[in-house]
Structure 1
């Protein structure tokens, strides 16, 4: 017996949330150079720092990690401390405000993120291996568009909150 595939617009849209939940639970596929479960959770923090270093050049603090992940500052502090203990992050004085401590990727953190990116690509290729190339690329394009829109909404909400 096959599972019921969503057919109507409402069924498809209602199935999106649970599908995203399943994505998080199935991130450790059997691909070359797998990333451990512990390092997988560390990549949540490392990715925030990496994106800041590659993109908007904003300095990342523990508070920024907490805000971005939507967790309590004490939870973010433990996550950051774990990544520092593992050798993936280093603390440094802010160049903008010497009283603040900011986070940077260590060379080991950069290597982990490089390995994680390779793992993600291999997993994507494994999952979509029997898709037509056009479908695979269209899905990738739409996923990137979705994430960019989500980031835009998060940024606008943060700006609104800061203006209050």
Structure 2
């Protein structure tokens, strides 16, 4: 079935345009929060630290798989986080030869600081939204991101290697 004929073409054009505008504005502002913390952590670092915080210590391959990106990308992105003391490498508890990545206490504190700043930004941007509207937007954005992720998985191209939105 040709998916471009499903639904209102004008609505689909508006949707693709608004997604492109969102991607550009999100990258321009980096949605990095407010105050002094604004834009002090890039997207890749935030996503890696957030994943380690939510899922706990793990190896590079497991982290890459859970994020849907290549192991070499994770290795490259984790290096500065280790250098700055936000992530530490430790030996795997069952296999001392394997390396496990985990948040350091400094990494936990830094992630909390950035999350608070970003939470404040989201509150500012949606201050006049009803709680139900925020919840609906989160639901729909999560659904949209899940569909994008599934599409890149099916096509076999990691999301990090997709061409940027224009």
Could you state the TM-score of these two structures normalised by the residue count of structure 2?
A: 0.66
For residues 68 and 15 of structure 1, do their structure 2 counterparts lie closer, same or farther at Cα, with a shift above 3 Å needed? farther
Q: Which moved more, 1:7-16 or 1:106-115?
A: 7-16
Following the alignment from structure 1 to structure 2, what is the Cα–Cα distance between the partners of residues 70 and 152? 10
For residues 137 and 39 of structure 1, do their structure 2 counterparts lie closer, same or farther at Cα, with a shift above 3 Å needed? same
Q: In the TM superposition, what is the alpha-carbon distance from 1:116 to its structure 2 partner? A: 1.8
Query: What does 1:81-100 align with in structure 2 at a 5 Å threshold?
Result: 81-100=79-98
- The CA RMSD over aligned residues, in Å, is 3.5
Alpha-carbon contact 1:32-1:122 (below 8 Å) kept: no
For residues 96 and 16 of structure 1, do their structure 2 counterparts lie closer, same or farther at Cα, with a shift above 3 Å needed? farther
For residues 40 and 9 of structure 1, do their structure 2 counterparts lie closer, same or farther at Cα, with a shift above 3 Å needed? closer
Q: Deviations over 1:26-61 (max 9, x none)?
A: 2345623424444554212212211212xxxxx522
Following the alignment from structure 2 to structure 1, what is the Cα–Cα distance between the partners of residues 72 and 150? 26
Residue matched to 1:3 = none
Q: Does 1:31 align with 2:29?
A: no
Alpha-carbon contact 1:33-1:115 (below 8 Å) kept: no
Following the alignment from structure 2 to structure 1, what is the Cα–Cα distance between the partners of residues 154 and 102? 25
Residue matched to 1:4 = none
Could you state the TM-score of these two structures normalised by the residue count of structure 1?
A: 0.67
Gaps of 5+ in 1: 1-6, 54-58, 159-164
SS in 2 for 1:60: coil
Q: Does 1:13 align with 2:15?
A: yes
Of 104, 107, 113, which residue of structure 1 is paired with 2:105? 107
Query: What does 1:32-51 align with in structure 2 at a 5 Å threshold?
Result: 32-51=35-54
For residues 27 and 100 of structure 1, do their structure 2 counterparts lie closer, same or farther at Cα, with a shift above 3 Å needed? same
Following the alignment from structure 1 to structure 2, what is the Cα–Cα distance between the partners of residues 30 and 119? 4
Query: Which has the higher relative contact order, 1 or 2, with Cα contacts under 8 A spaced 6 or more apart?
Result: 2
Alpha-carbon contact 1:28-1:34 (below 8 Å) kept: no
Alpha-carbon contact 1:128-1:136 (below 8 Å) kept: yes
Q: Deviations over 1:73-104 (max 9, x none)?
A: 33322221210111111111223433311111
